[in-house]
A and B are shown apart, each in its own frame.
Chain A
Amino acid sequence: MEITTEIINKLADLAKLEFSETETENLKKDMSQIISYIEKMNELDTENVEPLIFMTEETNVLRKDEVKTSITKAEALQNAASKDSDYFRVPKFIEK
């Protein structure tokens, strides 16, 4: 599969990242390599094989509906890049 500039741009857009032209070129190369490596798996016929989603056989790992308090507001906000005494602060992301 050929990795085009359009594909890189779309992925960058979805990941909210920006790349320079050189970076894009490098990414195209790297990603093409990764994809072709993985494409090796396409040699196998998986026509009638159900996809394996989970690595364990476990089902219904459930907990009771009980409230447990774990951390305080101060602790919750502790690692935030920007905050005030109540809220996480982020750059304004809605256009007026």
Chain B
Amino acid sequence: MREVDYSRYEPVIGLEVHAQMLTKSKAYCSDAYDYGASANTDVSPISLGHPGTLPMHNVEVIRFAIKMGLACNCSITENQHYARKNYFYADLPKGYQITQDKTPICTGGHIELKFKDGKSKVINITRIHMEEDAGKSFHDQDVYDSLIDLNRAGVPLIEIVSEPDIRSGEEAHLYLSEIRKLLMYLDICDGNMEEGSMRCDANISVRLKGTEKFGTRVEVKNMNSFSNVKRAIDFEIKRQIDAIENAETISMETRTFDAIKGITISMRTKEGASDYRYFPEPDLPPIHISQSFIDEVQKQMPALPKDLYDKFTKQYGLNDYDASVLTDDKSTAIYFEEIIQHTTNVKSAANWLMVNVRSYLNDQALDLNQFALNPTQIAEIIQLIDEGKVSHSAASQKIFPEFIKQSDKTVLQIAQELNLLQESNTDELQKWIDVVLSKFPEKIIEYKNGKQNLLALFMGEVMKLSKGKADPKMASKMLKETLDKN
């Protein structure tokens, strides 16, 4: 078999992201929705699609969609109406999905991706529209029938459609992470891909580099985790290039990702594009968005990751890496901001959060909001170190784990109980230094004759004598002074 030169080809990828909105009630009726609730309990005659029922629009969905639009630099459509997308499926009781066709709520935005090497790239957003989710079908639980749970029917979604600006699985992964970050900062979606509250479909084609014309587009579905999105796209790109190299034609089709085998499989070929017979939804009156409504939503917007990144680097002087990690999720960024309300040692606050707190949480498989210590308590630890009362290693290895167990105590109490408070009383330190030096008269002469590294030996003896309680910084300074006087 001859070698395929994959670098001759350029993948062209556009993503469609569906995000479930974290409203209390559904999009067009007042049912609750709790993931994992007992089947067919979060339902009403409206979500069941009973004849004679009429949808009632939840205003919060409009606010949430506008928030995402503003976060993605989109224009907000002034006059909108809904459409019906008609198709038959057992988990769609009405026989149509309420969605937006001609007048999506947001159009024409973009988001910026930042790569590890410091480069960045803009991905344009075609549109964001509002629609409703369908119910769930289970095909494997019963031998004869498919089972239908309509709890999810009518849950509000926004669909975020990108331009075909994405060029690799890695870029797709990064784009998806950015979208998720925005959704979560805005507190409009929980971003959980495994539970399906955020879903992603990819439109993928490949073409020879330098050609204008797009190749035949294949849609890939069912990539239900971040790593699967990257794997599925990388696989599909390779599959298409191999097909072209073998002179096979790529058919316009929908493929599903098999996460176990790591491959995409044909689901259905699109024999003549599906005919959804969109038409304006007559049951929902049109929506008019005034500038004052947009202004009101704008006022509710929280700080976004980009704003916080700028603040952390410019105002607090953190480096790019620290600022990126700390703004990666909202709870970490908020926690960090609260620590530095109580300490001026910004760098130390960043390190404690990114290293000690994070590795503890990872070990215990906890979220930051389940963490026993509050930001003020982390600031107290930092203060104790900065005042020279405890060493950094004692604080991180002994005091921190104990403090988590006994968070009702003060960190000073913990340090006392563990006998880890350092001695920075100069009289006490001088006593230890004098004892040590009196034991090594010859070494003092060697030191005086230029054997500077003997300082480490004297320090070691001082630490030993003090049972580790001497403040090393202070002790080493005093030791030097004593030797110089000698």
Report the Cα distance A87→B136, complex, angstroms. Answer: 10
B329 at the interface (CB under 8 A from A): no
Report the Cα distance A93→B148, complex, angstroms. Answer: 11
Report the Cα distance A14→B146, complex, angstroms. Answer: 21
Q: Which of B145, B275, B285 contacts A61 (CB 8 A)?
A: B285
Residue of B nearest to A65 (CB): B60
Q: Are B58 and A62 in contact (CB under 8 A)?
A: yes
Q: Are A88 and B25 in contact (CB under 8 A)?
A: no
Contacts of B287 in A (CB 8 A): 59-60
Q: Are A54 and B146 in contact (CB under 8 A)?
A: no
Least Cβ–Cβ distance between B300 and chain A, in angstroms: 14
Q: Are B146 and A65 in contact (CB under 8 A)?
A: no
A66 at the interface (CB under 8 A from B): yes
What number of B residues sit within 8 Å (CB to CB) of A?
45
Q: Are B286 and A90 in contact (CB under 8 A)?
A: no
Report the Cα distance A66→B25, complex, angstroms. Answer: 6
Q: Are B40 and A89 in contact (CB under 8 A)?
A: no
Report the Cα distance A89→B30, complex, angstroms. Answer: 25
Least Cβ–Cβ distance between B312 and chain A, in angstroms: 33
Q: Are A90 and B62 in contact (CB under 8 A)?
A: no
Least Cβ–Cβ distance between B387 and chain A, in angstroms: 49
A88-B148, A90-B145 are contacts. A63–B32 as well, Cβ < 8 Å? no
Contacts of A63 in B (CB 8 A): 30, 56-59
Q: Are B38 and A86 in contact (CB under 8 A)?
A: yes
Within 8 A of B (CB), among A40-96: 53-54, 56, 58-73, 76-77, 82, 84, 86-94
Residue of A nearest to B39 (CB): A86
A66-B25, A94-B146 are contacts. A14–B38 as well, Cβ < 8 Å? no
Q: Are B88 and A16 in contact (CB under 8 A)?
A: yes
Encoded as 1 (CB less than 8 Å from any A CB) or 0, chain B from 102 to 120 comes to 0000000000000000000
Contacts of A69 in B (CB 8 A): 31-32
Interface 9-residue window, one of B41-49, B405-413, B425-433, B472-480:
B41-49
Q: Are A73 and B31 in contact (CB under 8 A)?
A: no
Task: Choose among A54, A73, A88, A90 the residue with the greatest number of B CB atoms under 10 Å from its CB.
Answer: A88
> Total A-B residue pairs with C-beta atoms closer than 8 Å?
122
Q: Which of B25, B31, B285 contacts A56 (CB 8 A)?
A: B285
A63-B58, A90-B145 are contacts. A53–B32 as well, Cβ < 8 Å? no
B418 at the interface (CB under 8 A from A): no
B417 at the interface (CB under 8 A from A): no
Least Cβ–Cβ distance between A79 and chain B, in angstroms: 8
Within 8 A of A (CB), among B130-147: 137-139, 142, 144-147
Report the Cα distance A90→B144, complex, angstroms. Answer: 9
B288 at the interface (CB under 8 A from A): yes
Task: Choose among B58, B62, B147, B275 the residue with the greatest number of A CB atoms under 10 Å from its CB.
Answer: B147
Report the Cα distance A67→B147, complex, angstroms. Answer: 26
Q: Are A73 and B59 in contact (CB under 8 A)?
A: no
Q: Are B282 and A88 in contact (CB under 8 A)?
A: no
Q: Are B60 and A90 in contact (CB under 8 A)?
A: no
Contacts of B32 in A (CB 8 A): 67, 69
Least Cβ–Cβ distance between B27 and chain A, in angstroms: 10
Q: Which of A70, A86, A89 contacts B146 (CB 8 A)?
A: A89
Besides A63-B57, A93-B137, 11 other A-B contacts (C-beta < 8 A): A54-B81, A54-B285, A62-B62, A63-B59, A66-B24, A68-B30, A70-B44, A73-B41, A87-B138, A92-B146, A94-B139
Q: Which residues of B contact A (CB under 8 A)?
A: 23-25, 30-32, 38-41, 43-45, 48, 56-60, 62, 81, 86, 88-90, 137-139, 142, 144-150, 275, 277, 280, 282, 284-288
The 3 A-B residue pairs with the shortest CB-CB distance, nearest first, are A65-B60, A68-B30, A87-B147
28 contacts between A and B (CB under 8 A): A15-B88, A53-B81, A59-B285, A59-B286, A60-B287, A60-B288, A63-B56, A63-B57, A63-B58, A64-B59, A66-B30, A67-B24, A70-B44, A70-B45, A73-B40, A73-B43, A82-B145, A84-B147, A87-B39, A87-B40, A88-B150, A90-B90, A90-B145, A90-B146, A90-B148, A91-B146, A93-B137, A94-B137
